[in-house]
Amino acid sequence: MRKSSLLFALAVLVGLLAPGPVQAVAATGPTTTTSSYFNALSCPSPTVCVAVGAVQTDRDNPAGKVVGGSFQPIAVRTVNGGRSWAAVDMPALDANLRAVSCWSTTACVAVGGTRTAYRGSWYSVAAVVLRIQGTAASVVGHVPAGARALDAVSCPGAGSCVAAGGALALGTVGLRPELLATHDGGATWASVPLPISAGQLESVSCASAAHCVALGASSYETGTPATGEEARSRPVALWSSAPATSWHVGAIGNRLSGGGPTAVSCRSSGHCLAVGDWFNWCWCGTGTPGEFGSAWATSNGGATWSQTVLPVLDGYVTWYANAVSCWATGCAMGATVSTTKPGSEYYSGVQPLSASGAPAGALSTSANGLRPQYIYGLSCGAPASCVAVGQNWAKPGEAAIETETAAGHWATTYTRPA
**Banded model confidence at residue 136, pLDDT cuts 50, 70, 90:** very high
In a domain, 399, yes or no: yes
**pLDDT by residue (tens digit) across 190-221?**
999 999 999 999 999 999 989 999 999 987 66
Residue 108: per-residue pLDDT: 97
Cα 97 from Cα 149, distance rounded (Å): 10
Residue 406: per-residue pLDDT: 81
Is 29's pLDDT higher than 90?
no
Strand order in the sheet with 347-353: 316-326, 331-339, 347-353, 364-365
- Residue range 53-78: mean pLDDT, rounded: 93
Is 25's pLDDT higher than 50?
no
**Banded model confidence at residue 98, pLDDT cuts 50, 70, 90:** very high
Could you give the number of structural domains in the chain?
1
- Residue range 324-342: mean pLDDT, rounded: 92
In a domain, 3, yes or no: no
Residue 173: per-residue pLDDT: 61
In a domain, 285, yes or no: yes
SS (H, E, C) 122-166: EEEEEEEEEEEECCEEEECCECCCCCECEEEEEEEECCEEEEEEE
Is 296's pLDDT higher than 90?
yes
**pLDDT by residue (tens digit) across 155-182?**
998 889 999 999 877 666 678 999 999 9
| Amino acid in position 393 | W
CA distances from 37 to 171, 201, 231, 379 (A): 28, 21, 25, 16
Is 327's pLDDT higher than 70?
yes
3-class DSSP state for residue 279?
A: helix
Residue 120: per-residue pLDDT: 85
CA distances from 357 to 4, 130, 263, 292, 396 (A): 22, 33, 13, 14, 31
First to last CA, the chain: 24
- Residue range 44-61: mean pLDDT, rounded: 95
Residue 171: per-residue pLDDT: 63
Residue 230: per-residue pLDDT: 52
Residue 282: per-residue pLDDT: 73
Candidate from 3-12, 64-73, 297-306, 400-409 with smallest mean pLDDT: 3-12
In a domain, 2, yes or no: no
Q: What is the largest CA-CA distance in the chain?
A: 55
**Banded model confidence at residue 382, pLDDT cuts 50, 70, 90:** confident
Query: How many other C-beta atoms are found inside a 10 Å radius of the C-beta of residue 327?
Result: 16
Is 397's pLDDT higher than 80?
yes
In a domain, 1, yes or no: no
In a domain, 6, yes or no: no
Is 23's pLDDT higher than 60?
no
Q: Per-residue b/e over 198-228, b at no fewer than 16 CB within 10 Å?
A: ebbbbbbbbbebebbbbbbbbbeebbebeee
**pLDDT by residue (tens digit) across 104-127?**
999 999 999 999 998 888 889 999
**pLDDT by residue (tens digit) across 264-292?**
999 999 999 999 998 887 766 666 778 89
Under 8 Å between Cβ of 244 and 265: no
CA distances from 58 to 18, 65, 69, 121, 418 (A): 10, 9, 5, 10, 16
Is 90's pLDDT higher than 90?
yes
Range of the domain at 331: 11-23+30-415
Per cent of the chain over pLDDT 70 is 87
Residue 85: CATH number of its domain: 2.130.10.150
Is 153's pLDDT higher than 90?
yes
Closest Cα to residue 332, out of 278, 366, 381, 290? Answer: 381
Cα 368 from Cα 37, distance rounded (Å): 22
- Residue range 245-260: mean pLDDT, rounded: 92
Cα 410 from Cα 282, distance rounded (Å): 32
In a domain, 222, yes or no: yes
332 against 286, higher pLDDT = 332
In a domain, 5, yes or no: no
Residue 121: per-residue pLDDT: 85
**Banded model confidence at residue 146, pLDDT cuts 50, 70, 90:** very high
3-class DSSP state for residue 24?
A: coil
